A and B are shown apart, each in its own frame.
Chain A
Amino acid sequence: DAGVIQSPRHEVTEMGQEVTLRCKPISGHNSLFWYRQTMMRGLELLIYFNNNVPIDDSGMPEDRFSAKMPNASFSTLKIQPSEPRDSAVYFCASSIKPGGAETQYFGPGTRLLVL
């Protein structure tokens, strides 16, 4: 079975440009999460969806960040305009359902560098 798929794996862009990160969760999983990982701040949850509906976006750093999940098999995280401080590894994860003991399955991440 394919795991969580993320694209692109690497992205280098210039400050002010729009960046779109993509995620395909595991088929049949109903919950999807976006995380950001940096050396300074560690692993941060940005937003999560249940059944394609955003449930908690309190981790989204500011209005420059937006996330969508138009259907059960696709989600995007967009940064517009991008800034150098957005440089990080962005992970998407999915789980089969809401619940305390459910495992989250992580994608390989997108390494973003904003110059």
Chain B
Amino acid sequence: GDSVTQMEGPVTLSEEAFLTINCTYTATGYPSLFWYVQYPGEGLQLLLKATKADDKGSNKGFEATYRKETTSFHLEKGSVQVSDSAVYFCALNNAGNMLTFGGGTRLMVKP
């Protein structure tokens, strides 16, 4: 079946550092890929998405490119802020209605 693997956290960075959170997936066909973010005490919210190979999703300075050849969708940001501290979930949807989530990666940004 479909699966999503994320790097384990926590990831601890200083403010203005470069961020990469790795995400790889296993799926048949051509899934849509998502990054969701969960701030403390809140539900998940969509950060960005990409629906086909080579698409780049971007939002709030975050980017991720759908790489079918490496089955990856790594999340990047050039300069993180303390307010980016949260848990980030990579997910896929493969021609159905259900999202398959990765385990989540906690990001902690120190001032």
Binding site for B on A (CB under 8 A): 4, 31, 33, 42-43, 45, 48, 50, 55-56, 91, 93, 95, 98-109
Rounded to whole angstroms, the CA-CA distance of A104 and B42 in the bound complex is: 15
Query: Which residues on B are within 8 Å of A, measured CB to CB?
Result: 31-32, 34, 36, 41-46, 49, 51, 89, 93-99, 101, 103-104
Contact B44 A106 (CB under 8 A): yes
Report the separation of the CA atoms of residues A105 and B98 in the bound assembly, to the nearest whole angstrom: 13
CB-nearest residue of chain A to B93: A100
- Determine the chain B residues whose CB is within 8 A of the CB of A98 once the complex forms: 96-97
Closest residue of chain B to A97 (Cβ to Cβ) is B97
Q: Is the interface of A mostly helix, strand, loop or mixed?
A: strand
* Residues of chain B lying within 8 A (CB to CB) of residue A109: 42-43
A101-B99 in contact (CB<8A): no
List 9 A-B pairs, Cβ < 8 Å: A43-B89, A43-B101, A91-B44, A93-B43, A99-B97, A101-B32, A103-B49, A108-B42, A108-B43
A100 vs B46: C-alpha distance when bound (angstroms):
14
Distance (Å) between the CB of B46 and the closest chain A CB? 5
On chain B, the residues within 8 Å of A102 by CB distance are: 93, 97
Contacts of A4 in B (CB 8 A): 43
Q: Is A100 a contact of B45 with CB atoms below 8 Å?
A: no
Using Cβ atoms and an 8 Å threshold, which residues of chain A touch B36? 106
When the two chains form their complex, are residues B93 and A101 in contact, meaning their CB atoms are under 8 A apart? yes
Check A56 against B98 for contact (C-beta < 8 Å). Answer: yes
Which residues on the B side are within 8 Å of A56 (C-beta)? Answer: 98
Shortest beta-carbon distance from B91 to chain A in Å = 9
- What is the chain B residue whose CB lies nearest that of A103? B46
| CB–CB A55/B103 < 8 A | no
Point out the residue from B31, B43, B49 that lies within 8 Å of A107, measured CB to CB: B43
